[in-house]
Amino acid sequence: MNSVKGRAPTGIDRLDEILKGGIPVPSLVLLIGDVGTGKSVICQQFLYKQALMGYDSVYFCIDHPPEDVKENMASLGWNIEDLEEDGLISFVDLFLGREYDFEYVCSTLEKHIKDTERFVVDSISSIAFIYGEKLAYELLQRIQAWNRDSRGVGLINAVRGMHSSSFEVALQQACSNVIVLEMRSSGRFLRVIKTTRTSHMTEEFGVEIDEAGIRLL
């Protein structure tokens, strides 16, 4: 699919069709869904695509250390080493297994988001689990403000069912675009439920994860 002005392609052709050319720029996108539905793969595929297009891209590694994220991306056939060497993609280590304090997490996010064009926070769920939902929501509002100033595009990963229902609703309210992924006995499914400054297709689509990443059926 050809690039559309004012859109950031996700690297997933069918998803870009659903979004009428990609994610609106600037905006913050919430990816919320069940465990195992491919949320992190979508995040990685998006950032890889944007780095290939020449945009400064940052992956905030919160659930897993950077080496695990890079290993997963390499397993999908994506050459990230050259992009790292060229300074187009970077992986910021905020793995919460290292027991960072909350202010360090906040200041690190602020420093990079204010100075980048594309980013992924993977995930806000771990931040909420460790530091509490109130602080996580306040941080999301700050991320929204930082991104508005830098006029970039950010993806926020969240695990459905890991939080209170009110927190999940608050996340969806705070983000300008919301994509929901669901796991059922019949497979994985994706639906765009909210966009800003653009129309979108409202149908539900099957999700397949193969050796090249995410495909919508």
Distances in Å between the Cα of 59 and the Cα atoms of 32, 37, 167, 197, 208 are 17, 19, 24, 25, 23
Confidence tier at 186 by pLDDT (50, 70, 90): very high
Q: State the average pLDDT over residues 18-24.
A: 92
pTM for the predicted model, two decimal places? 0.95
Residue 1 has pLDDT above 70, yes or no: no
Comparing 68 with 199, the larger pLDDT belongs to: 68
pLDDT at residue 174 in the model: 95
Structure tokens at 107: 């200041």
pLDDT at residue 4 in the model: 78
Q: What is the 3-state secondary structure (H, E, C) of 144-201?
A: HHHHHHHCCEEEEEEECCCCCHHHHHHHHHHCCEEEEEEEECCEEEEEEEECCCCCCC
pLDDT at residue 3 in the model: 67
Q: What is the pLDDT of residues 102-133, one digit of tens each?
A: 999 999 999 999 999 999 999 999 999 999 99
Confidence tier at 7 by pLDDT (50, 70, 90): very high
Rounded Cα gap, residues 130 and 98, in angstroms: 12
Q: What is the pLDDT of residues 134-174, one digit of tens each?
A: 999 999 999 999 999 999 999 999 999 999 999 999 999 99
Among 3.40.50.800, 3.90.1580.10, 3.40.50.300, 3.30.70.1350, name the CATH number for the domain at 27-216: 3.40.50.300
